[in-house]
């Protein structure tokens, strides 16, 4: 891959919805009809995966070299939009594979009954064991609060210390953003019944709650906050793409919540074999090596060449993750606690 100096898209967030500017869409696109003989594999995914800076282009090229097919990525907004899209389309969907859900959404996705088992039992380089018959992980990351160490050399080491400090943080809204939801589950996983208390303590630290990741990260870079909810791999972007080592992720003693991104095969696919081949391809070197510096996440299978510089700089000692079912059950009560604590 050339162009490694260029930063690659990382996170899809939910800014799509805003009324005046926004995402939109491939206008003018009349899907070019592939030659009749070439089978088409349609993969529904989030926007940034397919963008010029995302893993999409390289992966498409690599897979098409081996599959004698036309791999087509259809962008559908962000992770949560993806699930809504699958539900809207139901069994009539043209998509064969859905790529980009995370484990806080897979319980709801499984409940739709629209996904088929993938049949793989892969060896994955994940900090926790994950075995889901319907969804196969392709990358993952730890949520973390990112800060600038020139301005904040000694970041807090726990949520309680953060709550006790007068540091200002920006977070994302759990109702519109997957990192926001991740933070909610993080606090819940770490503190259980004390989560509400932790949120009450954090209330005066929260400068504001943004609709998506990019607004929050933007505000942080503009100096509106001391810390922002992001990923432990965020500093690696600044290090690699900008030669800037001032950004750091604060490691918390409670452990860090994981985001694991997965793909699944739709039961109604008209290309079941091709879909299976794509899922298998997903865990090969060609796919996995594209992930770190396009998606800025850890690949599910560490490439032969190892991880890029900076990916080892902030490794939490402890990983937190709820099962999809726990996450699903925890969401509504946690949301209510969050809302009550922050609605000053």
Enumerate residues 265-304 that contact another protein by CB under 8 A: 296
Q: Smallest gap, in angstroms, from Cβ of residue 193 to another protein?
A: 21
For another protein, what does the binding mask look like between residues 235 and 254, x meaning CB under 8 A? --xx--x-------------
Burial of 234 (C-beta count, 10 Å sphere; 0-12/13-18/19+): buried
Q: Residues 73, 77, 83, 86: what is their CA dihedral angle, to the nearest 10 degrees?
A: -50
Residues 175-214 touching another protein, rule: CB under 8 A, are 175-176, 181, 203, 206-211, 213-214
168 binds another protein (CB under 8 A): yes
Nearer to another protein, 97 or 283 (CB): 97
Please identify, using beta-carbon distances, which residue of 1 and 17 lies nearer to another protein: 17
143 touches 320 (CB < 8 A): no
User: Toward another protein, which CB reaches closer, 159 or 338?
Assistant: 338
Give CA separation, 143 vs 31, 120, 183, 321, in Å. 37, 27, 7, 11
- Minimum CB separation of residue 209 from another protein in Å reads 5
C-alpha pair distances (Å), 238 with each of 148, 172, 246: 11, 21, 8
Residue choice 63, 73, 252, 311 for contact with another protein (CB under 8 A): 73
Asked if 53 contacts 8 with a C-beta cutoff of 8 angstroms, the reply is yes
Residue placing its CB nearer to another protein in the complex, 217 or 298: 217
Q: Which position among 40, 64, 89, 308 is part of the footprint of another protein (CB under 8 A)?
A: 89
Residues in the chain, how many? Answer: 344
Q: In 192-233, where does DSSP find H-type helix?
A: 195-202, 213-221
Part of the chain binding another protein (CB under 8 A), chosen from 19-27, 125-133, 135-143, 273-281: 19-27
Q: Which residues contact 212 (CB under 8 A, 6 or more apart)?
A: 13, 14, 15, 78, 172, 176, 177
Q: Is residue 35 near another protein by the rule CB under 8 A?
A: no
CB of 129 to another protein, least distance (A): 26
Does 173 contact another protein by CB under 8 A?
yes
Beta 227-231 vs 169-172: how paired, if at all?
Answer: parallel
Contact status: 342 vs another protein (CB under 8 A): yes
Which tokens sit at 66? 């081996």
Measured torsion, CA atoms of residues 163, 175, 191, 166, in degrees rounded to the nearest 10: 0
Give whichever of 48 and 283 is closer to another protein, judged by the CB atom: 48
Closest distance to another protein from the beta carbon of 259 (Å): 15
Span 316-335, contacts to another protein by CB under 8 A = 331
> How many whole angstroms separate alpha carbon 128 and alpha carbon 130?
6
User: CB 253 → another protein: shortest distance, Å?
Assistant: 26
- Please check whether residue 227 is in contact with residue 220, taking contact to mean a CB–CB distance below 8 angstroms: yes
Q: Token pair 């592939």 is at which residue?
A: 34
127 to 166, contacts with another protein by CB under 8 A?
A: none
Out of 1, 4, 17, 128, point to the residue binding another protein (CB under 8 A): 17
SS3 content of the chain, % helix, strand, coil (to 5): 40, 20, 45
Supply the minimum distance, in Å, between the C-beta of residue 304 and another protein. 26
CB of 232 to another protein, least distance (A): 14
Q: Whose Cβ is closer to another protein: residue 28's or residue 305's?
A: 28
In the complex, minimum distance from the CB of residue 251 to another protein, in angstroms, rounded to a whole number: 21
8 Å CB contact between 227 and 147:
yes
Closer to another protein at the Cβ: 178 or 301? 178
């Amino acid at each position: 891959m050339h162009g490694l100096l260029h930063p690659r898209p990382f996170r899809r967030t939910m800014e799509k919805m805003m009324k005046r500017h926004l995402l939109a869409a491939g206008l003018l696109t009349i899907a070019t009809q592939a030659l009749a003989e070439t089978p088409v594999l349609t993969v529904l995914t989030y926007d940034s995966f397919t963008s010029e800076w995302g893993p999409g282009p390289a992966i498409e090229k690599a897979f098409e070299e081996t599959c004698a097919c036309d791999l087509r990525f259809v962008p559908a907004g962000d992770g949560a939009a993806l699930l809504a899209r699958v539900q809207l389309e139901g069994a009539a969907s043209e998509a064969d594979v859905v790529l980009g859900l995370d484990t806080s959404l897979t319980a709801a996705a499984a409940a739709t009954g629209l996904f088929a088992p993938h049949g793989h039992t892969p060896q994955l380089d994940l900090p926790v064991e994950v075995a889901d018959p319907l969804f196969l992980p392709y990358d993952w990351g730890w949520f973390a609060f990112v800060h600038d160490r020139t301005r904040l050399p000694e970041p807090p080491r726990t949520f309680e210390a953060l709550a006790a400090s007068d540091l200002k943080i920006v977070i994302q809204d759990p109702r519109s953003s997957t990192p926001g939801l991740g933070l909610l589950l993080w606090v819940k996983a770490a503190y259980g019944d004390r989560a509400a208390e932790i949120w009450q303590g954090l209330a005066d630290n929260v400068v504001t709650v943004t609709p998506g990741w990019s607004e929050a990260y933007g505000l942080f870079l503009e100096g509106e906050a001391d810390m922002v909810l992001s990923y432990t791999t965020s500093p690696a972007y600044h290090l690699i793409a900008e030669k800037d080592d001032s950004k750091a992720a604060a490691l918390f003693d409670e452990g860090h919540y994981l985001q694991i991104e997965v793909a699944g095969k739709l039961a109604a696919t008209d290309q079941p074999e091709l879909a299976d081949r794509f899922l298998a391809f997903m865990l090969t070197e060609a796919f996995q090596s594209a992930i770190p510096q396009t998606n800025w996440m850890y690949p599910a299978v560490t490439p032969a060449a190892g991880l890029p510089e900076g990916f080892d700089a902030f490794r939490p000692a402890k990983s937190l993750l709820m099962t999809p079912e726990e996450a699903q059950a925890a969401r509504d009560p946690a949301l209510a606690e969050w809302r009550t604590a922050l609605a000053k």
